[in-house]
Structure 1
Amino acid sequence: MNATERTLARLPAHLRRYVVSQDYASYTPRDQAVWRHILGQLRSHLATKAHPVYIEGLEATGIGVDRIPSMDEMNERLARLGWGAVSVRGFIPPAVFTELQSLGVLAIAADIRTHEHIQYTPAPDIIHESAGHAPIIANTRYAEYLKRCGLVGFKSISTIEDEAVFQAIRHLSIVKEDPTATPAEIQHAEARLQAANQSRRYVSESTRASRLYWWTAEYGLIGSLDAPRIYGAGLLSSIGEAQHCLTSEVKKVPLSTACADTEYDITRMQPQLFVARDFEHLFEVLEAFESTLAWKRGGDYGLQEAIRARTVNHLVLADGRELTARVVEALPGAQPVAEGLSTALVRLEGPVMLSRGGHSDSKPWPGLALVAFGEGQLPERGDFRVELASGLTLQGFAVGGGEVLNLRGTLAGQPIELPNVAQLFLSTGLPSVAGGPADPGAWDHWFGELNAFTEGEGESLARARKASALHPSLAALYREVRTLRESKSFDSKRLEQLSRATTAFPEEWLLRQEVDELRAPRA
């Protein structure tokens, strides 16, 4: 078992299905030239501009200048740091990305940007993910921050509109990287993203968490305001951004939780960046932000966040049981049940999955479920009547396993409408309400489906079209130059012929640069 296989083996099944083969042989000589150009430029520029760990981190994680790294090479090196990496196809769902990161696994897009987008691409690519994120995790404290940041993002509650925005961003990135895309297709994709953004009813926890991640792990600076250094992967992997970010044109402000409320535009250079004092400062801000989330606050706040999100999330009850479902209603009681909790009864829309400690071993309940809050006890079987301090009274017949029949109830003496058949739970409190299923693997087992997204169909098609769009004669020139470089054969006569041949492709400055490098005198 090689290093990559060992990384895959430690992933749960629901994450493994987003992993694709890197397919190293599919990288063209032109792709390799793009890598060489960008890494050469970045390494030279960042030697004195990036956090000191960056250059040593390139070596520590198996990332060289001359060729695109293989996943096996990276995993051999990353394993020594307690991390791993897997290939994915372009954008993956935020919950998948953050869960992988919380497990110490980098999701590295297998694709590489085109020659036309060499300065910057909003789409995930191997340059951004490997040369940007991987080197800095050589610093163990920062590596721990990335894991913790992944966990916070994973636990944050997202909305149905967040999903629409994600799908629109993914679609736009595919279209823009596809050389066969028409102007009309690009315009439609841009309009779709605009409409998705306009559909947002409010700024979700997940969006705020992604902003914090963006302004730190992606576009973060570190050190003093007067002379900061770069550590964010988005800056470390973009020639244009790396050169621009330290100029006086970019406003530098101290890092704070305000970054979670600061929007960003991925299509342009950032006019303002946040500067962390040091890596410990990242933890201070993350912990302050984390304390505002439903995951940490629970109670009424958590319930309201889950209700307005209209997505599947999970409640953690006082005894540790977890209920995964869509929260649809919370009825207030006559008096508080616990600190931060005045809700008497919560309605959950099925399917409802019961788990404990993040593990479920039973089939989800297909119907409605109710959670009543307060001191009380339900019999396992038979008739019951429960009166709670919140003013809620429930009675019915317990079948067993939490299922109840002929359920009736009143709240503050007034009858309330209840389902005749339901799952009923009692809890003295609600310490947490967190995003997504408590057991993602079990939820995926019952309700997940392989589709074009997880197989990366759109990205795969775009990648194939990029390769086929290259003129055969141009592809042959890149291939020969790559062969000469790897064989260290510097035939001056042949190089002169290649130099003349490049004039047939006036837009191919990268090819001319490759040839000129080989023709340059050597010490």
Structure 2
Amino acid sequence: MKETSGISLDNAAVAATPKHLLQFAVDQRYDDYTLVDHAVWRFIMRQNIFFLKEYAHKVYFQGLLDTGISFERIPRIQEMNDILAKIGWGAVAVDGFIPPAAFMEFQAYKVLVIACDMRQIHHIEYTPAPDIVHEAAGHAPIIVDREYSKYLQRFGEVGAKAMSSKKDFELYQAIRHLSILKEQPNSDPKEIEEATKLVEHRQKHLGDPSEMALLSRLHWWTVEYGLIGPMENPKIYGAGLLSSIGESVSCLEPHVRKIPYSIDAMNQPFDITTKQPQLFVCRDFQHLKDVLEEFASKMAYQVGGLEGVNKAIECNNVATCEYSSGLQVSGVFTEAITDEKNSPVYLRTTGKSALAFGNKELPGHGINYHKEGFGSPIGKWRQTSTRPELLTDNDLRELGIVQGKKTKLEFVSGIVVEGKIDEIVRRDRRLVLITFSNCRTKYGDRILFDPDWGAYDMAVGERISSVFNGAADKDAYNQVALVPKERTIKVPSDAKRKKLENLYAQVRKIRESKTGYERLGEIWETQQAEHPGDWLLSMEIFEILDTIDQQPDLKAKIEKFLNQKKATTKDLSTLIGWGFRLVEYHKRPEYQATLQASPK
């Protein structure tokens, strides 16, 4: 089956994902994976069985089986979707890093984003760029655990509300650019150095971290690099560790500091381009949820008020302020007028704005109507002690607030709204909006709205109860998804590389068909003559010969070659050592049982 799309609309979770998120989806282009790619995948996955069997959280291996992830070949997104659907999740293919807000919102809809690039052979241990090993073999298996699945979705819900800053996005762009360069073949070292300095500069000058920046740290130290269990013997559950052979081995060693997980982890920055000097250990997955809710309780979307409105203004991007009536105002907030108690009494947006309720745009109140901005008072009215949103139609009549009649509303703050009432809007029995014509709105001597400006739509609500990132109804608002313009770079397949890929294909066919063993010597000699720098193909041939216990002379030659590589090439020493240990482990009954249970 050829993979043709990053979107699987027959998966319920994916089908429920809003259009503005699906703009990030790309084709997996499964046929673009080479046999070298599949060999790298196979090596990593089999190493994971070897090492993580003892050190990963107990759900990990069951998760590999339950999510249909093969140890032998790179998974298809469609196949994963079919299996993830059984636990209420889905997956879409994306191109590398996507903006944190979009990543979080996908999680809220129970959709895993899977970067479909495959790390190069010289990045087997670790890659700074997200790839299909990290996403499919790191994130996917752990969500089989019900408590963790709830945590991940809840994190997405909270993260989708988090206020971010322009500097956050600039840092994301710098990190994405650096990760692309580091995974790009034949990158210019000077260019990598300059990109690294840019990341460091933007990290250093981030200023006071936004909600999104702090939440991203909690995400990093749990979902990506988390440990779980007793401090003296924790297990691995973070996807960044599960997908990194090198770091999964080193992370449990004494030189990596282990810290009990708490909300204080939000104060610990991280470097995405290197191994982590410290890790956080949670007691259990409920512990993660408790810390997340502790953080969320202090966020603008739960606190609202002037603090929240100021965060909306500071972010200089589309945000939503929700009145206590439930009316949601979305746009770029530019002003909050406060009273003598420093409480917000009037807010204003500039440029295209929209009104919504329950995250659904109110008819006639989209960006085409409110294209120049929106402004409205906040608070109680002098005429009544009742919260304005709770006033009934009878209450309004007694106050002289009747459609078609002129009225004068005085707010406790001192703001005065005077004009003819054209429309009164309710949602869920709450008063949310009053539209005036020939209206003047004043605060002391300041004119906030003049009759010559047209109809005046006045939001109703005692206070601002919630402030969050983005538009309330993103699809209706037509909020531009910040899809990265810079794309990940594929390894070019020239004639020489295609010959190497053909050798890998031949070895895979021999291994899977269990025939043609007599050709292994010829294949190895060709590899030695034309691709002497490659080591993984030699390891695959060595493994086959050890398994069938044939051609001892050829096996000895290959073993000598690999040991020479191991001794003379620092970067390969650990990998080749692991490869030899894996060949021995391959013979054990427990490995064979695991291999037999895995999808093919």
Report the TM-score, using the length of structure 1 for normalisation: 0.90
**Does 88-97 or 194-203 show the bigger shift?**
194-203
1:240-279 pair list within 5 angstroms: 240-279=246-285
Q: Which amino acid aligns with 1:98?
A: M
Matched, 1:103 2:109: yes
Matched, 1:409 2:442: yes
**Does 360-369 or 324-333 show the bigger shift?**
360-369
**Does 54-63 or 306-315 show the bigger shift?**
306-315
Matched, 1:458 2:487: yes
Q: Which amino acid aligns with 1:373?
A: I
Could you tell me whether the CA contact under 8 Å between 2:138 and 2:243 is conserved in 1? yes
Matched, 1:426 2:449: no
Matched, 1:34 2:43: no
Q: Deviations over 1:11-33 (max 9, x none)?
A: 22222221112111110000001
Q: Deviations over 1:250-278 (max 9, x none)?
A: 11111100111110111221111111101
Which residue of structure 1 lines up, in the alignment, with residue 557 of structure 2? none
* Separation in structure 2 between the aligned mates of residue 102 and residue 480 of structure 1, nearest angstrom: 44
* Separation in structure 2 between the aligned mates of residue 253 and residue 174 of structure 1, nearest angstrom: 31
Could you tell me whether the CA contact under 8 Å between 1:334 and 1:391 is conserved in 2? no
Which residue of structure 2 lines up, in the alignment, with residue 448 of structure 1? 480
**Does 169-178 or 199-208 show the bigger shift?**
169-178
Which secondary structure does the structure 2 equivalent of 1:346 belong to? strand
- Among 289, 294, 302, the residue aligned to 1:288: 294
Which secondary structure does the structure 2 equivalent of 1:518 belong to? helix
Which residue of structure 1 lines up, in the alignment, with residue 130 of structure 2? 124
Q: Deviations over 1:107-134 (max 9, x none)?
A: 1111111112111111110000010011
Shift in alpha-carbon separation, 1:32–1:343, aligned structure 2, 3 A:
same
* Separation in structure 2 between the aligned mates of residue 189 and residue 384 of structure 1, nearest angstrom: 61
* Separation in structure 2 between the aligned mates of residue 470 and residue 439 of structure 1, nearest angstrom: 52
Which residue of structure 1 lines up, in the alignment, with residue 497 of structure 2? 471
Shift in Å at residue 408 of structure 1? 4.2
Counting matched residue pairs gives 505
Q: Deviations over 1:272-322 (max 9, x none)?
A: 111110111111111101111001111122112112222211011111111
Shift in alpha-carbon separation, 1:244–1:470, aligned structure 2, 3 A:
farther
1:235-384 pair list within 5 angstroms: 235-335=241-341, 342-360=343-361, 361-362=363-364, 363-364=366-367, 365-376=370-381, 384=407
* Separation in structure 2 between the aligned mates of residue 379 and residue 503 of structure 1, nearest angstrom: 90
Which secondary structure does the structure 2 equivalent of 1:316 belong to? strand
Which residue of structure 1 lines up, in the alignment, with residue 416 of structure 2? 393
Shift in alpha-carbon separation, 1:403–1:173, aligned structure 2, 3 A:
farther
Shift in alpha-carbon separation, 1:404–1:248, aligned structure 2, 3 A:
farther
- Among 61, 81, 91, the residue aligned to 1:85: 91
Q: Deviations over 1:328-378 (max 9, x none)?
A: 121111347xxxxx2111122221111111111442211121131122377
- Among 500, 525, 543, the residue aligned to 1:500: 525
Could you tell me whether the CA contact under 8 Å between 1:328 and 1:347 is conserved in 2? yes
Shift in alpha-carbon separation, 1:107–1:254, aligned structure 2, 3 A:
same
**Does 467-476 or 356-365 show the bigger shift?**
467-476
* Separation in structure 1 between the aligned mates of residue 324 and residue 505 of structure 2, nearest angstrom: 64
Which secondary structure does the structure 1 equivalent of 2:500 belong to? helix
Could you tell me whether the CA contact under 8 Å between 1:324 and 1:437 is conserved in 2? yes
Could you tell me whether the CA contact under 8 Å between 2:259 and 2:280 is conserved in 1? yes
Q: Which amino acid aligns with 2:344?
A: T
Matched, 1:513 2:539: yes
Shift in alpha-carbon separation, 1:185–1:468, aligned structure 2, 3 A:
farther
* Separation in structure 2 between the aligned mates of residue 403 and residue 111 of structure 1, nearest angstrom: 55
Could you tell me whether the CA contact under 8 Å between 2:128 and 2:182 is conserved in 1? no
Matched, 1:16 2:39: no
Shift in Å at residue 386 of structure 1? 2.5
- Among 63, 67, 77, the residue aligned to 1:61: 67
* Separation in structure 2 between the aligned mates of residue 76 and residue 408 of structure 1, nearest angstrom: 57
Could you tell me whether the CA contact under 8 Å between 1:394 and 1:409 is conserved in 2? yes
1:182-261 pair list within 5 angstroms: 182-261=188-267
Shift in alpha-carbon separation, 1:483–1:288, aligned structure 2, 3 A:
same
Shift in Å at residue 9 of structure 1? 2.7
Which secondary structure does the structure 2 equivalent of 1:345 belong to? strand
- Among 6, 15, 20, the residue aligned to 2:10: 6
Q: Any unmatched runs of 5+ in structure 2? A: 382-387, 389-400, 424-433, 549-586, 588-600
Could you tell me whether the CA contact under 8 Å between 2:128 and 2:183 is conserved in 1? no
Which residue of structure 1 lines up, in the alignment, with residue 58 of structure 2? 52
Report the TM-score, using the length of structure 2 for normalisation: 0.79
Shift in alpha-carbon separation, 1:104–1:468, aligned structure 2, 3 A:
farther
Q: Which amino acid aligns with 1:432?
A: S
Shift in Å at residue 448 of structure 1? 2.7
Could you tell me whether the CA contact under 8 Å between 1:358 and 1:439 is conserved in 2? yes
Shift in Å at residue 183 of structure 1? 3.3
Deviating beyond 6 angstroms after TM superposition, the runs of 4 or more aligned structure 1 residues are: none
Which secondary structure does the structure 1 equivalent of 2:360 belong to? coil
Could you tell me whether the CA contact under 8 Å between 1:371 and 1:427 is conserved in 2? no
Q: Deviations over 1:388-424 (max 9, x none)?
A: 11233344566767466664412xxx42253543643
Root mean square deviation of aligned Cα: 2.4
Q: Which amino acid aligns with 1:348?
A: T
Matched, 1:25 2:31: yes
Q: Which amino acid aligns with 1:6?
A: D
Could you tell me whether the CA contact under 8 Å between 2:419 and 2:436 is conserved in 1? no
* Separation in structure 1 between the aligned mates of residue 437 and residue 333 of structure 2, nearest angstrom: 19
Shift in alpha-carbon separation, 1:457–1:24, aligned structure 2, 3 A:
farther
Which secondary structure does the structure 1 equivalent of 2:55 belong to? coil
* Separation in structure 2 between the aligned mates of residue 374 and residue 356 of structure 1, nearest angstrom: 18
The structure with the largest alpha-carbon Rg is 2
Could you tell me whether the CA contact under 8 Å between 1:398 and 1:405 is conserved in 2? no
State the identity as a percent: 39
* Separation in structure 2 between the aligned mates of residue 191 and residue 357 of structure 1, nearest angstrom: 44
Shift in Å at residue 484 of structure 1? 2.5
Which secondary structure does the structure 2 equivalent of 1:44 belong to? helix
